[in-house]
Structure 1
Amino acid sequence: MKASLYLVLATLFWSGNYVVGKASVASMAPLELTFWRWALAAVPLLFLAQFVEKPDWRAVLRRWPALLFLSALGMSGYTLLLYGALGYTSALNASLITAANPALIVVMAIVLLGEKTTRLGWLGICLGLFGVLLVLTQGELSRVLSLSINTGELLMIGAIIVWGFYTIIARRLDVPAIAATAVQVVMAAVTLAPFALALNVQFPDTPAEGWSMAYIAVFPSLGAYLLWNLALKSIPPGTAGNYLNLMVVFTAIITVALGTPLTLVQVLGGTLVVAGVLLTGTKGRARAKGKAGLNAA
């Protein structure tokens, strides 16, 4: 039950990141947003890890190759792709593409970890991917053949592939969740620092940028990544991935509340995606093999 609540809150915080990030990229570059996001979150996360878990930091750091790889995927790679995408597409479209991630994670779990699914599960995967195609092509499926898809949406496809690998690998990491998240964040801030210096990245100097960075540093950075990693200790990657579809709902609610209307294609595509994930997540996925490390606690 706690793990489910963690995943719901994580997706809510990430949904806000889509909306705030979309507003922020108008005046801040993706590298600028990504660097300050992790630089501001790094020290608080280290203190939180020490206070809650009191980990053996030497043992944690012995896993530095895996942690560095996860940091490059989930903290640097995914975030840069996300903010890059938001410069070209809407927050809602970005969240709708993210909603394909559960299907992608299930496929990755099947290929990489030996998880099993049924024909109903495959139907759900196909239904969800069809819904994403509707959004990508704005209802004109022939655009797929001509590769006439928005640059931002292509960047989001890259982002969800990166996040899929992050989820699969993080699930098998035997490091305390908060400590693992903290070290990954520190690594992201350190590895991005030379690029930030080279590009003369400045700290946000307007109230709007300051409040945006405060939200991004506290909720989608500290809160969401921490809760996601905690949940992955007791929930399989495919199951956790299903919760990402709540981002569509949360982002749509926030978008409408801010006065942006939904299009029929967005509503239809989102409905198909969520329906597909429900099929994949509730009835479609068979029980995983024990040796794959996917049994829920």
Structure 2
Amino acid sequence: MLFIVGINLTKAANASVMLGTIPIWVALLSQFFTEEKLTPLKTIGVLFAFFGVALIVAGGNNEISFKSDTFLGDIITILSAVVWAVYTIFSKKYLKFYNSTQFSAFMALIGFICLAIIGAPSLVELEWSSISPKAYGGLFYSGTLSVGIAYLIWNNGIVKIGAVRTATYQNLVPVLGLIFGVIILDEVLTLFQYIGALSVIAGIVMARLPVKKIT
């Protein structure tokens, strides 16, 4: 909800960079609330991935602006990143007692109830007949794949590899956006975008590397 409000008040490029901070927030907050501690490799990996996101955004000739007219949207978007980081961290505690399917279903139910209450006035005013089949298809895709299945995979990732490593994969979103942009829209990538994509992948690999114990 915060992200939707925030991106409406800022630039898409700003929002991309703000969301790229999610692994950083997860890594920092994990130090205080979980047993999952940062290692040098995880730290470098998280920073590499964020640097890659910034390069992808900058390389796409997207203007990143922090002027007063986008300030409120920037604050709300980064707040959404912090909230998502908190969710990721505390999910791990509950996922010890519930499997990822049960937990995802419960959180989806809570989210549906909250959004239904907040969005009730808009739903009453909406002219349902004016919505195109294409829009309904987009709604189905967002609700089923982007939210339902994606949340299930995300929560399962938290169980398997931990909050910090899972959060690092968040920065694959702009990389996949580049790939599908080339395949579907015939977009041409810049050198910075190629470097940024490689930086994100390198960061994820570093965050996934096991720590070698000295014996």
SS in structure 1 of the partner of residue 189 of structure 2: coil
Indicate if the aligned counterparts of 2:165 and 2:207 stay in contact, CA closer than 8 A: no
SS in structure 1 of the partner of residue 7 of structure 2: helix
Q: What residue number does 1:118 align with?
A: 39
- Could you tell me which of 278, 282, 294 is aligned with 2:205? 278
- Counterparts in 2 of 1:160 and 1:181: CA distance versus 1, 3 Å: same
2:99 pairs with 1:176: yes
Q: What residue number does 1:105 align with?
A: 26
| Unaligned stretches of 5+ residues in structure 1 | 1-76, 288-297
Q: Deviations over 1:233-288 (max 9, x none)?
A: 333112222332332332211222224443444443343333333323325x688x
Q: What residue number does 1:258 align with?
A: 185
TM-score, normalization by structure 1? 0.55
Q: CA deviation at 1:169?
A: 0.7
2:3 pairs with 1:81: yes
Letter in 2 for 1:205: I
Query: Is 178-187 or 217-226 further displaced after alignment?
Result: 178-187
- Counterparts in 2 of 1:83 and 1:97: CA distance versus 1, 3 Å: same
- Counterparts in 2 of 1:216 and 1:243: CA distance versus 1, 3 Å: same
Q: CA deviation at 1:167?
A: 0.8
Indicate if the aligned counterparts of 1:99 and 1:274 stay in contact, CA closer than 8 A: no
1:237-252 correspondence runs (5 A): 237-252=163-178
1:1-297 correspondence runs (5 A): 77=1, 80-82=2-4, 84-85=6-7, 88-90=10-12, 98-134=19-55, 138=58, 147-148=66-67, 151=70, 155-173=76-94, 174-199=97-122, 200=124, 202=126, 203=128, 205-256=131-182, 257-282=184-209
TM-score, normalization by structure 2? 0.71
- Counterparts in 2 of 1:98 and 1:270: CA distance versus 1, 3 Å: farther
Indicate if the aligned counterparts of 2:53 and 2:171 stay in contact, CA closer than 8 A: no
Indicate if the aligned counterparts of 2:46 and 2:204 stay in contact, CA closer than 8 A: yes
Indicate if the aligned counterparts of 2:100 and 2:155 stay in contact, CA closer than 8 A: yes
Q: Deviations over 1:11-30 (max 9, x none)?
A: xxxxxxxxxxxxxxxxxxxx
Q: Distance in 2 between matches of 1:110 and 1:86?
A: 32
- Counterparts in 2 of 1:108 and 1:281: CA distance versus 1, 3 Å: farther
Indicate if the aligned counterparts of 1:177 and 1:230 stay in contact, CA closer than 8 A: yes
Indicate if the aligned counterparts of 2:56 and 2:174 stay in contact, CA closer than 8 A: no
Q: Distance in 2 between matches of 1:153 and 1:261?
A: 28
Q: Distance in 2 between matches of 1:261 and 1:96?
A: 21
Q: Distance in 1 between matches of 2:109 and 2:164?
A: 27
Q: CA RMSD in A?
A: 3.6
Indicate if the aligned counterparts of 2:46 and 2:168 stay in contact, CA closer than 8 A: no
SS in structure 2 of the partner of residue 172 of structure 1: helix
Q: CA deviation at 1:132?
A: 4.2
Indicate if the aligned counterparts of 2:169 and 2:204 stay in contact, CA closer than 8 A: no
Number of matched residues?
A: 202
| Unaligned stretches of 5+ residues in structure 2 | none
Q: CA deviation at 1:184?
A: 1.9
